[in-house]
Each structure stands twice: as structure tokens, then as C-alpha cells.
Amino acid sequence: MNEIRSLIEQLRVKRIDMAGKDFLLTWEKTQDEIEATFLVADILRAMRERDISPRVFDSGIAVSNFRDNSTRTRFSFASACDLLGLYIQDLDEGKSQIAHGETVRETANMISFLTEAIGIRDDMYLGEGDRYQREVGKALDDGVKAGVLPSRPAIVNLQNDIDHPTQSMADFLHLAHYFGGLDKLRGKKIAMSWAYSPSYGKPLSVPQGVIGLASRFGMDIVLAHPQGYDLIPDVLEMTKKQASASGGSFTYTDSMDEAFKDADIVYPKSWAPYDVMLRRVPLLHAGDKDGLKALEKEALANNTKFVDWECTEEKMGLTKNGKALYMHCLPADITDVSCEAGEVAASVFDRYRDDTYREASYKPYIIAAMILLGKFANPAALLESLLDRGKQRIFGA
């Protein structure tokens, strides 16, 4: 309990302005806001582990809008919302034909009369996911202003074309616990590396989210990928600025080995080239199946030139004492397990399996923290009240 009270005291002194705001990109949040999010996540987890229910809502809707498939984020969102007392209602496009454009405004209002939070995953169309989330946010602002909505639901970006903040924040809460504190990340080398996968079209938001967040903690970030597998230029620019401002560095290499050399952390993960993602958008819009197939074929053929971009034991041997922490957002393409040749060797993955599961385990608490901070102006006071209330999550436990 004292541990929780101490976390609340740390939270109390953070200068934050998150209530009524959405959580879309980590780089829109101040350092204090990022750290407050980690603190709230840790507090919620600690409360639950001590059987103290952090349920703040006696009723209320949380909308989940998944414009792409998902198991783990879906479950994380559901778990987070349920923990706070919200009922999850899916906005399923199959069932309800929500669309970009004029109807966004209307639908955003129609689903929000009793809604506290909206989680949106929209990562398929480069240049559109983030825009869509802001469009929804703007519609909600208008709805509140017009007196149509009683309160502003908080939007949580569950992955878009630019950032994947629930993933990267979970990743870094894991790192903070692994290394003993966020301050311990200073000077650590992290290799965010492309890796081979026999699939294509994987979004850029994971690597972008990782470098976008890593660059705030004074880390030495090496981004590695074959030439042509670029990320969004704006994100690279922003990362460079943040890295320098935080006393870290951000460099690029086209060699996985070089990236892994003396790294403390490696994050080998496939993604599609920026250029391919751009070309894919009009094809997806047009429903041009032949065009998509041709593009896929071309992209896959190009991938095979880089089949040696695999996180093998040999490559792990290049890292700091051969013991860098391996990270992945899961599911990983594991050589000889999920495919013939993939992102990571089976023996490497096996050794770090539990670590990757632990990494994932922070996501529900990160999401719950984002919602709570988006809804309550004084989270420290709220959490203290919850602690004082002392309601058991499991009766009689």
C-alpha cells in the first residue's frame, strides 16, 4: 500500500493537462504527461494485484472501433475498460457501415451520448488513420459545444498509420521495469531494426512509435533497415529533434549487424516500405484486387533479397555481452515455427518469450491509464480516493 501511495505522490507533482484531450501520438504529450501515464498504469496494476478495485464508473460506454483485425489490442482495450467499469460496444463496420467523410461527424455523435471513451484502430491506409481519429475528435468537440453530448469521450489511438502509442507505451513501461526505472534508459542503445517476413503490408506505426518514444529518454537509437524500407519522413525529423533535445542520439544504418553491435535492446520487426504503403492506398480505395496482388508480389519479391535480416543467435551475439533484451509487439514471425524464414530464430524467441509476454501485459493498464487521464483532471486525488474506498475487486478474496 505504501508503494501505491508513493506512486500517487510522484503522480501528484506532474504538471499535466490531459483531461478532455485524446491520446493520439506520444510526441504530442509532454514528458510529464508521458510519465504520468506510466505512473497511473503502474498504480492501477498495483491496485488490482492487491485486490483493490479501481472501478470508477458505475455505468458508461466504451466504443471500440477496429478498422483492422486484432486480438491482443481488442482484449487489452476490453480489459482496460472493464477494469474501470465501462461496457464495451463494438462499432463494427460490417454491421454499421461507418465511413470516412461527412458521416464521420454524425456517427461520432450518435455513438457517444453515454460514452466515456472511444478506442480506434485504423492503420491500413497511410495518411488516413490519424486524420480519421482527429476528424472524430473534432466532431465530438462540436457535439459537446452544441450541447448534444453531455461530456467529451476520450479517444485512444489503438494504432494508426503514424503511431501505435498503446504498444510503445507498454513497451517502455516494460523497459522501465526491466532496467529499474525510466532514468536507467539514458545512454542505453536500442536497435529498432527491420526484419525479414514472408508477408507484406505491415504498418509503419510500430517502429515509428518506438523511435518516437525512445527519443525522449536520452537513448542512443539506431534505426536499421534495407534501403527503400523508409519510414515517414516527418516522423524521422521529429525523432531526430527529440533525441537531441533529450541528450540522446538517432542514427540510421542499412546494416542489421551494425545496429545490433553493443545494443542493450533490440526490436527486430518487419514493416512495409513507406513507398509501397503509399502506392497501396489508391489500390485499396479502388478495390483493385489485381493491382494489390501485383504490388504484393513485387513487395514480397523485394523482401526476399533481405531474408538474412533475421534476429539469429549470431546477431544476438553482437549485442552488449550478447544479452540485449529482445522485444516484439507480437505475433512474431518465427523461423521454422510460424514460417520457413522469418524475423527471429526460434531459439532466440524461446529465450525471450516470457519477456515479450510481460511486455504485452502492460498494455491493458496503459490503455486504462490513458482513459482515466483523458477523463479526470486530478488523477492523483481520484486514485487516492479509490485507495481509501478500498473496495475489493474480488469479494471475499
Question: Which residues are bridge partners to 224 per DSSP?
Answer: 193, 253
39 Cβ contact list (under 8 Å, min separation 6): 7, 10, 11, 14, 369
Cβ closest to a copy of itself, residue 5 vs residue 357: 357
Cβ closest to a copy of itself, residue 115 vs residue 303: 115
Closest CB 96 distance from a copy of itself, rounded Å: 4
Closest CB 47 distance from a copy of itself, rounded Å: 11
Cβ closest to a copy of itself, residue 83 vs residue 316: 83
Cβ closest to a copy of itself, residue 60 vs residue 212: 60
Q: How many other C-beta atoms can be found within 10 angstroms of the C-beta atom of residue 344?
A: 29
Q: Length of the chain, please?
A: 397
Residue 192: closest CA among 80, 32, 43, 327: 327
Q: How many other C-beta atoms can be found within 10 angstroms of the C-beta atom of residue 324?
A: 25
Residue 381, SS3 per DSSP:
helix
396's grid cell: 471475499
Closest CB 31 distance from a copy of itself, rounded Å: 26
Closest CB 314 distance from a copy of itself, rounded Å: 23
Closest CB 370 distance from a copy of itself, rounded Å: 16
Closest CB 251 distance from a copy of itself, rounded Å: 33
18 Cβ contact list (under 8 Å, min separation 6): 29, 33, 36, 373, 374
Cβ closest to a copy of itself, residue 304 vs residue 357: 357
Residue 241 identity: K
Q: What are phi and psi of 326, to 5 degrees?
A: -85, 135
221 Cβ contact list (under 8 Å, min separation 6): 189, 190, 192, 211, 214, 215, 239, 243, 248, 249, 250, 251
Cβ closest to a copy of itself, residue 290 vs residue 354: 354
Residue-by-residue DSSP string for 204-249: SHHHHHHHHHHTTTT-EEEEE--TT----HHHHHHHHHHHHHTT-E
Cβ closest to a copy of itself, residue 2 vs residue 97: 97
Closest CB 115 distance from a copy of itself, rounded Å: 8
Place of cell 476520450: 154
Cβ closest to a copy of itself, residue 78 vs residue 232: 78
Instruction: Let me know: does 89 contact 174? Beta carbons within 8 Å.
Output: no
Determine the Cα–Cα distance for residues 29 and 253; give it in Å rounded to an integer.
28
Closest CB 139 distance from a copy of itself, rounded Å: 10
For residue 244, CA distances in Å to 32, 181, 217, 250 come to: 18, 21, 10, 8
Determine the Cα–Cα distance for residues 224 and 230; give it in Å rounded to an integer.
10
Closest CB 305 distance from a copy of itself, rounded Å: 27
Closest CB 51 distance from a copy of itself, rounded Å: 10
86 Cβ contact list (under 8 Å, min separation 6): 57, 60, 61, 62, 116, 117, 371
Cβ closest to a copy of itself, residue 130 vs residue 384: 384
Cβ closest to a copy of itself, residue 369 vs residue 386: 386
